[in-house]
Amino acid sequence: MSSLNAYLDTCIVSGIIKKDLKPEQQEAILKLLEYRKNGIVSMVTSKIAKDEIEKIPEKYRYEHQMTYLLIADVPVCRTATTH
């Protein structure tokens, strides 16, 4: 497992769905996914990202959920809690 981590955020999933990522962002995401597949980079996400996707209006949510599930077989990272 790599010591480098990349974070899968809601804005990445939304950018893929809406097709509004800049070419350099698309290329960067593609490289990260390739690096992950080759064990160079680990990817993490959070419960917050999953919760945000579940709050998307129903008529838009399906594609977001599907894309997230396709690329989100990544571990969920722990988030700091405040008291």
**Whole-number pLDDT of residue 81:** 61
Using CA atoms, how far residue 6 sits from 17, 36, 57, 60, in Å, is 19, 9, 27, 25
Per-residue pLDDT of 8-57, as tens digits, reads 899 999 999 999 999 999 999 999 989 988 889 988 888 898 899 999 99
Cα four-point dihedral sign 37, 11, 69, 78: positive
Phi/psi of residue 45, each to 5°?
Answer: -135, -170
What pTM was computed for the model? 0.72
